[in-house]
């Protein structure tokens, strides 16, 4: 194992199962994984203020990461994930995709 394991930030809360699978696979490969909070799984709706807080927090996770992995089965990328990809690229972070085929934005 390297002196400091690679840190990967996973994006795309819409695809929880794909995100969890990537998290598991990366973790078993010795990678530190940063992922969105599980707020999307909460039984109650989150407020606009909470959503803004979570969005800002996720950008800080991207800052900590060595690279970003986008969960995008079928090539789908939503608005929030598009912003995260743009942010990662603007800060020089490499971005990869679980489904790198045809990328489709909402």
pLDDT tens column, 54-68: 999 999 999 999 999
With respect to residue 84, please indicate whether it lies within any of the assigned structural domains.
yes
Residue whose C-alpha is closest to residue 84's, from 17, 19, 6 = 19
- Count of domains forming the chain: 1
Task: Give the torsion sign (CA, 81, 73, 37, 106).
Answer: positive
Q: Residue 42 pLDDT more than 80?
A: no
Q: What is the SS3 assignment for 1?
A: coil
Mean of the per-residue pLDDT values of the chain: 88
Residue 101 lies in a domain: yes
Domain that holds residue 89: 68-106
The pLDDT of 75-96, averaged and rounded, is 94
For the chain, give the percent of residues with pLDDT over 70. 87
* pLDDT over 90 at 33, yes or no: yes
């Amino acid at each position: 194992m390297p002196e400091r394991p690679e840190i990967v930030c996973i994006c795309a809360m819409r695809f929880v199962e794909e995100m969890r699978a990537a998290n598991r696979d990366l973790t078993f490969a010795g990678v530190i994984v940063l992922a969105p909070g599980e707020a999307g799984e909460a039984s109650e709706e989150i407020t606009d203020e909470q959503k803004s807080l979570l969005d800002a927090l996720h950008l800080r996770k991207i800052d900590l990461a060595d690279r970003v992995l986008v969960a995008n089965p079928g090539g789908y990328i939503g608005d929030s994930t598009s912003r995260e990809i743009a942010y990662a690229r603007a800060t020089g972070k490499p971005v990869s995709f679980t489904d790198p085929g045809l990328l489709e934005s909402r």
